[in-house]
Structure 1
């Protein structure tokens, strides 16, 4: 009987630890998501501040954006190249996991 009681007690302790760990994980995840939202909001506010500092009308801003795309095509390609290796790496990870 003692081994059953011990096993039951061990089971209950493990269950309590697991539930506490799950609660900590959920709290950490909630904090992480809130920090992620705050970071994105701060980045967006910084972008808006920079754009407003340019003191352009919307039509001038659109023209500037179009001009940047046509006059700096190499820069756009460089940005795309920087993104592609990460995507390829992630594809390899998923293939290996399967």
Structure 2
């Protein structure tokens, strides 16, 4: 699966890592729903750090469609609340 972090780039994520990313996404979604700014910022940072650590960065000149687009760390709680679906940022 190809995930893009806005303003940063794309990462190829093996399917074996999706459960871990979904756990982090659930924490982020819970913080966003409750409006907890501190937990939200921490959860978003943890999710993006995991994508960076578990994924393989694609070269900048690679033009591949992204399966998922994640906000960058500077995205506000209110912006992410507007993006959240019932399954969070990462479906599954």
TM-score computed with the length of structure 1 as normaliser: 0.24
Which structure has the bigger radius of gyration?
A: 1
From the two aligned structures, give the one with the greater helix fraction.
1
